[in-house]
Structure 1
Amino acid sequence: MLRDEGRAMLRRCGELTERVRAAGSGRSGRLRVAYTRSAADLGAQRMVREFRRRWPDVEVATSTGWTTRNVQMLAADETDVAFVRTPVAGDGLAVRHLADEELAAVLPAAHPLARRRRVRPEWLRDEAVILWPRAQGPGFHDRIVEQVWPSSRPNVVLEEPEAESILAAVADGLGVAVLDHGRARKVRLPGVVVRRFTEPAPTAGLGVAWRANDPSPTLARLLASL
């Protein structure tokens, strides 16, 4: 009996040792990932699914927010890595730029510019504009304004927090908007026309952020896979 118990104890010790090694190498453990809603179509979820496929023993817990909220979650140690709209900065944060996506003008179908194949940014100078609140992502917001309204401020008549709400307001004829080209086309509503800008088209960035002093090997594996 003692021999059998000894063998079982050795087996459990071996299993525990392997689990510790796996956690130490990043092959197991837990990783908290925060997506950003405005970049839902830029492939962040696919990247994480590929990580899950390669490292099935890592428990990945996901949430969805917006850039400012995700940065706050990193600072509060409520998430380990976050997808953000670049540029973004924060004390103790490391940020890696991943991609740029073309922006597009979103117009009511009856708008005179809807007849154009492409839109020049200066044609939106005096238009009523529907935009999302700057507080959700100051760097992202300012980058759009600097590219589309470089010499003036947009005439913002309404702020909505999500693309769907912005598109609904455009469909109602309340103004024009500027959104990611891919997302605007995907969720386009009746009464809305999406037009690309003339070259060079304005763009929006996607990045990933994490605490610069985080020693997690699991985090390091995710960053390497990106």
Structure 2
Amino acid sequence: MSSGGGLVGDDWRVLRGARRAAAAHPAFDGLAHALSDLGDIAVAVPVLLVALAAAVRLGRRAGLPRWWLPPGAAALAMCLLPVVVGSVKAGVDRPAPGRVRADPSYGYFPSGHTATSSVAFGLAALVLLPFVRRAALRALLAAGTGLLALLVGVALVWCDYHWPLDVLASWCLAAALLSAVGAALLVPGAAVRSSSGSPGSGPRGRGRATAG
């Protein structure tokens, strides 16, 4: 990656600001490291698997003819994620935060932990949202998932694990993958719908397949 340019200059400035903040507030280090760990595959993927299993069960109980489509699309997106992240890392070959020489065995752009947490938790929320009946709970689930993704990314910069642009790139990748899977929810018979046709406001068929 180039060592110059406006974006890289801004990246340096934000990184230095994060380092100053971390040095001034060491009490937040424990929380930041705990949030960073949420991007581990061993943490994020099991959460997604539980959500996919729940979505499969709820979809079948609701009698949806294409109950398999949203969880299948989510599983495919999660499988594609490491391929995309690994390919970009190898192509960009960005050095560690604050350095100008790349590590010959590891690239930092984009952030794998940010991508894993944002996509895994985002997909988990996405496939379960149609089965949550109450609007307030749906809003809480969506907002909470977004906030969690934001905090994990900020924590990775706070702990000096990644450049800010590494995190931003992973958020953009996550948004693209989540949008693609979200489109699967719009396919007729793939998700419970309200009378207005939008997913999540109520079931059509068996009313037991809802939560909240």
Pair in the same fold by TM > 0.5: no
Q: TM-score, normalised by structure 2?
A: 0.27
Structure with greater Cα Rg: 1
Q: TM-score, normalised by structure 1?
A: 0.26
User: Larger % of helix: which?
Assistant: 2
